[in-house]
């Protein structure tokens, strides 16, 4: 992915931050090229008590909202790790223009015995793999904004 001009500033984690990334991918032919994706994805940062729900629908991220922990888990799967690990991942993406080989979603998932991608349903969790490139592209797109950390 080519890093474009930085025009947006947002703080992670926040609804604004996820909306900024959504706006970038929704307008990105490269994201569209990956193909359709239908999945609800939770984002959990337990030590900050922050939980979000991202809705991926067809060729866009159609909704972003802050939810309760239960709301984040009432999804196909949720991505959960401590704030410091989120920060490390996003800083790595910013530094390289995309995740390097040690910071891809799959790599982070494998390194955590509990898993980075979690679900209450073995079938729905596989959405993490079915649309993996979409989710990777989504987070890699954070390289295009200036992220401030709380």
Partner 1 sequence: MADAAAPDIPEDLAQVAQEKSIPLELVRRAMALGFPVEAIKMQMSQPGVTAEAAEQFIAEQEKIRGAGGEISVPPELKAIADEFGWPEELVKRALKLGAGVDMLMNQIKAGIRPDQAERFIEQQERAQQGGMEAALDLSWMKVPTEWGIRVRPGKKGLTVGMINVGTYADIPDVWPYHTEMPRGAYPLAGIPTMGYTIYEKAELWADNCADLYEEAIQRRWRPATDIPWDTVEPLPDEIEKAMCQVCTYLCEKGLLAGDVVGKWLPEMSYGYHEVKLYLSTAEFDYARQFEIFRKRALSNGGGMGMQSPGYFHRAIIDARGWTETSAVLHILSNSFVMGIYQLGEYTAHNEAESLIYRLCMQDVARQLAYGVQHLKYFLSRHQDRRAEVHNYLNKGEAIFVFEEEKDTPIKEALIILLGGGTSGEQVADGMSKLEYFRTRWVRDYLARLAAAGLPDRREKIHPSLKKYVQQPEKTEAQAA
Choice from 22, 40, 51, 136 touching partner 1 (CB under 8 A):
136
Choice from 8, 59, 85, 91 touching partner 1 (CB under 8 A):
59
| Length of the chain measured in residues | 150
Convert residues 88-107 into a mask of x (bound to partner 1 by CB under 8 A) and - (unbound). -------------x--x-xx
The yes or no reply on residue 141 touching partner 1 (CB under 8 A) is no
**Residue placing its CB nearer to partner 1 in the complex, 91 or 126:** 126
Q: How far apart are CA 148 and CA 108, in angstroms?
A: 22
Choice from 87, 121, 139, 145 touching partner 1 (CB under 8 A):
121
**Nearest Cα residue to 89 out of 127, 43, 34, 122:** 43
CB of 149 to partner 1, least distance (A): 26
Task: Please list the helix, strand and coil fractions of the chain in percent, rounded to the nearest 5, in that order.
Answer: 45, 25, 30
The yes or no reply on residue 36 touching partner 1 (CB under 8 A) is yes
Q: Interior CA angle at 57 toward 1 and 109, to 5°?
A: 60
Binding window for partner 1 (CB under 8 A); candidates: 2-10, 14-22, 75-83, 119-127:
119-127
Q: How far apart are CA 145 and CA 132, in angstroms?
A: 22
């Amino acid at each position: 992915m080519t890093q474009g001009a930085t025009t947006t500033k947002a703080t992670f984690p926040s609804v604004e931050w996820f909306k900024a990334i959504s706006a970038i991918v929704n307008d990105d032919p490269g994201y569209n090229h990956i193909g359709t994706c239908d999945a609800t994805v939770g984002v959990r940062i337990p030590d900050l008590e922050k939980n979000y729900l991202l809705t991926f629908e067809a060729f866009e991220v159609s909704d972003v909202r802050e939810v309760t922990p239960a709301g984040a888990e009432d999804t196909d799967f949720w991505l959960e790790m401590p704030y410091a690990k989120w920060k490390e991942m996003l800083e790595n993406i910013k530094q390289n223009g995309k995740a390097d080989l040690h910071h891809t979603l799959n790599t982070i998932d494998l390194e955590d015995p509990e898993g980075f991608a979690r679900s209450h349903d073995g079938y729905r969790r596989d959405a993490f793999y079915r649309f993996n490139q979409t989710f990777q592209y989504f987070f890699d797109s954070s390289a295009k904004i200036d992220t401030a950390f709380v």
